[in-house]
Structure formats: structure tokens, C-alpha cells
Structure 1
């Protein structure tokens, strides 16, 4: 392995220069590991001296991700280590361990490869995963707002292939969102990796259940109605809804359901219908051919919804004029997909004028689709509006402003009480 002396990324031995900093790469044997003033793990070796930490990759609510060198195999790996307070919670640790077990049981090219579950010397726990170079779909959408059709179809087709493997084993991901779709760039286009199986629902016989009935887990913007209600009867069709919400955001630049708070988002999901994509995504040229696809994907009743992510991918590709199925498009070069979409008959992609749709709520329990629009005319994307996931029963890190705000409020309250008493 080699490393960059500026950013300390790790690269294969045949690499010459760092694509980020432009520095000439140096063999790791010739460089001392870096240190970090606020994180003692950086530069240290963990898990019995096997993994040498080289840099911090990302920080999340549950843990921190590092790039490390596996000293036994000589390969670069990612270590996802729980935050200290999360590592003290038995349910959180059990979910973390289940993420390892489920991911390890689903070997598929479109699912991140999880290699080991380890206990660390600082009394936490680590998932050892394949190290990926690329970016989350969330990062792409923050930068570009929407995806071109060919990139969307290729990505969605690969997501369908990965989830088909999980759904075949009666495993529901239950937390699909742009943050958990990782895109590895290649010459032909993105290679998708589905991340984070820590919130799965395992419907296989005898599977251990970690979620109490009525508990809601996941990101509210992408939850199905049955998931929003915490219903016991939840299957792979909840993932169909979540993937449809991702597709909607990829073509319109906004989430299908929006409200100021998590609970209000869930109420909107259960009682409202989203705008048709051709209306919500008018500025980006979203075709009207997508409208009936999203209508079926967003049916409130799972029985009325599109039955699989594979069929959703097929319908989206066909809405752009492609012939075949997601299995034909998943690894087709993105340029070729673009050429096929451009060659589609104009009538396929024609944007149909919509009747003046009334913007308002639809009665709860309606199974409808795009005929009646809900939410506001322009709802922000998920990153702008409400960044927190709803995970009831699993401890989350409090935002930094909470404790000072509570302390300040307590001081003001005490001062007010003292003033009233003095009178």
C-alpha cells in the first residue's frame, strides 16, 4: 500500500499520485502514521494490533468511520466504530452486530462487503468493511440537485439487483435513503453499494426481533405509511416506497413529502399525496411518463403498491423509452443508456399538460396517487429541511446546542421565580 503525505489516504501499490492532492504517493512502510489532536485512534492500531488507523473518513450519529490498513492482509479497509455513549447501550450494540450478520449473509456486488465485527481496546465495537472510493448519493444531490435519466436508470437498476437478494431472504432494509446509497465511479458509470443494514427487519422464520411494536425507525422523508405507523405487518414493499422516494428526489430536486418536524412528515406521508414528478420537477424536465409510475409506487396500501423494486426500476426505465428490464440496464455503460434514451420516440417523453391540480390534503386512508397534489409548491430537499432520523428506542447524539439551551432556559426560569418571590 501507498499513502499521500498530505491527506493520508491509502492507495494500492501501483498508484502513483493522489487524485485529491496531486502529491506523489509514498509506500506506507516509509511513512509514520499520522496523529490527530482530538482523536487518539488515528495513528494507533486496534483490535489486537491488526488495524492501523490512518484517517477519519466520516462522522455520524452512531459512530465514526476511519480508513485503516489491515496489517494482516495488507489491504485498505473501513472501520466503523461506535461512539462511546452508543457503545454503552445494549440494543444499539445488538443492532450493530446484526448489521454485520445480515450484511455478511448477503454477499452481493451491490451490497457493501462487511468483513468482521470486533471489540476495540477503548471499550467500543467496530465493523470492518471494504473501503470504497466515491460519494454518497446525498452528496451528489446536494451538489447537482437531480440526476440525468441515464445515471438514474443505471443506479436504480443496480439498487434493484442488490435489494432483490435481500428481499429473497425476507430481509427488509428499512432505512433506504440517499445517505445509504454509495456511488463508486467507473469508466462506464456508477457502481452502487447499498450501505447500513443496521435497521433491517428480518421476516425469516425464527429471526430475532429488536424493534418493539409501534416503534418507528428510519429517516422520515423516505418512510412508507406502514413503517411510519410502526406496524407489525411490514415487508419488502416498504423498501419499494423508500426507493420511490429516492427516485422522486433524483428527478425533481425535492422530497415527495415535507413538513417542519419528523412527526408532521409522517402525518403527511399517511394522509397526503405528493405532486406528480412532472409538476414538482418541471424545472428539470421530468417527463409526464413518470407520473403513473410514482402514483403506483406511492400507494398507501402495500397490496396496491408496485410489488418489487425490480418492477419499479423496469417502469422507470420504460418511462424514459428504454426497452428491456433493469437486468439489461444495470451494467450497461451510461453513455449507451443516454443514447438509447435520446433515441426514444418523442411521444414517450412528452410532458403532458396537467389540469389545474388543487394543492391540498387527501383524506387519510386514501390509496390515491398523483391526481390530487399535497404539500407545498416547492418543498426543500431532505438535507435542507430536516436532517435527523427518527429512531425511537435507540439513543442518538444530541445536537451541541441542546445542553446550553436547556441550561440557559433553566437559569432564566430560576431568575423569574426569584423575582416573583421577592415581590
Structure 2
């Protein structure tokens, strides 16, 4: 059974829900709250495939629009993504949609958004042709992107917990031969709960299959790369056909950099310049980019953002555990993923206190004393004799050889030349 807010149209499970947490209005039975028609979107209030009542728009993207909906048979709230009409005519976009659905269904992981249905339907309002839709579990929370836009950075304990959960999802996907290829804060959804965030990894539409799965329609388009430039690994930026899980590990490292520094390590005004920097520049150490960034990140991210995949962390879980241990945590990332934020914060404080209260290391042992040299037998002194002096014409030992000094006019000419070159450069820039 569902209840709904008469003001914002949001729906909630009936158990334990009395007032809307967003606007405080008293919640009513969903049958008593009629969806409000949207003059800009005729699909709102319509029913898809005879099963899904669209109640309101919750997100809008380049490929499609996401609606909050009610599944009429089981009376559950779901999220349903419907491709835009023009996008639904492109076979590549349909294939991405299919991959997103089938990959999420195969993974069935607690940190991957659950997909329940995927199909095409006809006869939607304002849609003369076929429409493709994908039904997912409804998530109440926000994308990591929204958190970073609002707060710029996040606390260390929250970040470690997010990365630990994300690593569990990625290692499960990689073990099945799936490389996400489009990891970014927009695709990391955070469901807030009493113990903190529950991570849900979104959008496997750009997934690469590495274990011979049914590949379907190829996604590669001539002259393009798949993914978001800021988070692309060097091998992905080069369009390598041999991507593996390490390209996702790179993207997670960029997300960690952004979470704790407040910006991505490689940025420019356009995608081509971003890729050029990823291929040629070294990432600035976090503490150089933001003096408030934890110094424990410098060495960690230097390794995680190595250009050669062989020199990076090889798996997401390995990177997550290195992140926790850099801050003194014991245990594994699987344990940190299930700890409450409060408990993880306390563990980090205890680790920091242990470091501060630890006694200083003992001084290095003193070098052993060397035995004194043996006594030398006495010998009678030898009378001093003047050293022989060789003679050559025109040279006397008391004379110094004059050096050739550079004429002053050469220095003056050099200065004039530099000034002239500077003037030419200035005029060229003008």
C-alpha cells in the first residue's frame, strides 16, 4: 500500500509514514491524490504498458526522462526511464538501453540499482511510434554529484564508506566481465539512512563486455569515445579496445580526488584539452591543489592515477583498502562498507589518536667504535730541500697568466638583443 503527498505528489510506503518529509503535508492514500497534469509533458498521469502509472517527473537527461510511477499490480512505487522520442530512433541508443537493463539484472547486487523490466511499448500520449522504457527500483536520496555541487568536499569517514561500497559493486561486475566505462559522481546514487549512505551504482549503458557475453550492437562510433572526459583513463582516452577493470579503478581514483580536494585532477575548457592533459600531465598532489586536503592522499592517488595500468591498483577493492589503511583503519573494505558512519568516524579518530600518542621510535644504534691505528715506527727527519723548478722562456712562477676578459660591447649587444626580442613578442601578442 502506498500513500502520497497532495502538495509535491511524492509517494511513500504506508508503513510508518504520516507526514511528507519534504514539505510537511499530511500524507493521504495514493488513490486520494490524483496526479497533476503537466502541460509540458503529456506522459504524466498516463499508464505505460497497462502497469505503470506515471505520477511525476524526477529527472531529465540527454537520453530520456525518469518518472516516479506506481506499479498497479503490486502497488509499489518504482522509477521508470523512457527514452526521448528522437533518441528512440537510434539503434546505438537502444543498445545502450538494453545493456543497462540486462547488465543490472545479471548483477543483482545490493549496491547496483535493481532493474525489473525493460521493453518497448506503443500508443503513449504524444508518441506516434514505439517507445522504450526501463523500470527500476525507486531510490530516495541524491546523486553524489549533487552532494559535491552543494558541499564541494565530504568528510573522510563518509568518503571511505562510499568508496568501500562502490568497490564491492565494481569487483562483482568485473568478476563477471563487465567494465562500467562511465563512472562519475552522476552515476553514484546515495540513499540516506540512519547509518549513513547506501551506494547504488547507476547506468551500465556504456558497459564493455570482456568475457564473451552477447555483445549485440557495437557502441563505438567513429571519432568518438565512450565515457565522460574528466573521469577517463589514459587508455580509454586513446580509444584502446583492450580496456579492463583498471580503467574503472582510475575513474574511482578521480572521484576520490574530487570528493576530498573539491575538483577533478584534470580540467580544461573542452573535452579534447581534458583528454590531452590526461594523456600528458601528471595529477597535482591533492595537498598542492587544496591545502586542506588530507596529506595521506598524496602517495595513494599518485599510484592510483599512474598512466600505465600495470602500475596502478589492479582492483577496486585493493584501492578501497589502501584508502582506509592510509588513514589507519584496520580490517577490510567489506567491513567498512557495513559500518555506520558514526562507527567509522570513531574508528578513524581512534586510529589518529593512536598515531599521535605512540612513543617516538628509538634512536638508531650508535656505530661501533673503530680501533685506534697501530703505532708508527720513528724515523729520523729528512732535511728540507727546495723543489725543482722547470724553466721555460717567458714564464716565471711568480707571474700569473692573464685571462681574456669579454669586451663590454658584447654584453651591451646581448642586452639590446633581449630587449628587442621582448618587444617583438609583445607586438606579436598584441
Greater RCO between the two (CA within 8 Å, min separation 6)? 1
2:15 counterpart of 1:3: no
Aligned to 1:31: 33
Aligned to 2:329: 322
Aligned to 1:98: 99
Aligned to 2:62: 61
Distance 1:114 1:206 in 2: 19
Distance 2:214 2:33 in 1: 47
**Contact 1:214–1:230 (Cα < 8 Å) also in 2:** no
* Residue among 125, 131, 135 paired with 1:124: 131
Aligned to 2:261: 252
Q: Secondary structure at the residue paired with 1:151?
A: helix
Residues 58-97 of structure 1 correspond to what in structure 2 (within 5 A)? 58-97=59-98
Aligned to 2:246: 237
Aligned to 2:149: 142
Write the deviation string for residues 187-219 of structure 1: whole angstroms up to 9, x where unpaired.
Answer: 111000000000000111243161338741111
* Residue among 37, 43, 46 paired with 1:44: 46
**Contact 1:319–1:348 (Cα < 8 Å) also in 2:** no
Q: CA RMSD in A?
A: 1.6
Q: Secondary structure at the residue paired with 2:296?
A: helix
Q: Secondary structure at the residue paired with 1:119?
A: strand
2:311 counterpart of 1:304: yes
Write the deviation string for residues 341-382 of structure 1: whole angstroms up to 9, x where unpaired.
Answer: 112246969xxxxxxxxxxxxxxxxxxxxxxxxxxxxxxxxx
- In the alignment, structure 2 segments of 5+ residues that lack a partner are 357-430
Q: CA deviation at 1:340?
A: 1.3
Counterparts in 2 of 1:186 and 1:206: CA distance versus 1, 3 Å: closer
Aligned to 1:378: none
Q: CA deviation at 1:152?
A: 0.3
Q: CA deviation at 1:262?
A: 0.4
Residues 15-26 of structure 1 correspond to what in structure 2 (within 5 A)? 15-26=17-28
**Contact 2:327–2:352 (Cα < 8 Å) also in 1:** no
Aligned to 1:411: none
Bigger Rg over Cα: 2
**Contact 1:214–1:231 (Cα < 8 Å) also in 2:** no
Distance 1:343 1:243 in 2: 27
**Contact 1:95–1:210 (Cα < 8 Å) also in 2:** no
Distance 1:163 1:59 in 2: 26
Q: Secondary structure at the residue paired with 1:296?
A: helix
Distance 1:317 1:327 in 2: 11
2:276 counterpart of 1:267: yes
**Contact 1:59–1:65 (Cα < 8 Å) also in 2:** yes
Counterparts in 2 of 1:310 and 1:210: CA distance versus 1, 3 Å: same
Distance 1:109 1:30 in 2: 33
Distance 1:265 1:57 in 2: 31
- In the alignment, structure 1 segments of 5+ residues that lack a partner are 350-423
Distance 2:150 2:35 in 1: 33
Q: Secondary structure at the residue paired with 1:78?
A: strand
2:218 counterpart of 1:218: no
2:349 counterpart of 1:342: yes
Q: CA deviation at 1:124?
A: 1.5
Distance 1:280 1:325 in 2: 29
**Contact 2:5–2:33 (Cα < 8 Å) also in 1:** no
Aligned to 1:353: none
2:117 counterpart of 1:113: no
Q: CA deviation at 1:100?
A: 0.6
Distance 1:132 1:114 in 2: 12
TM-score by length of 2: 0.78
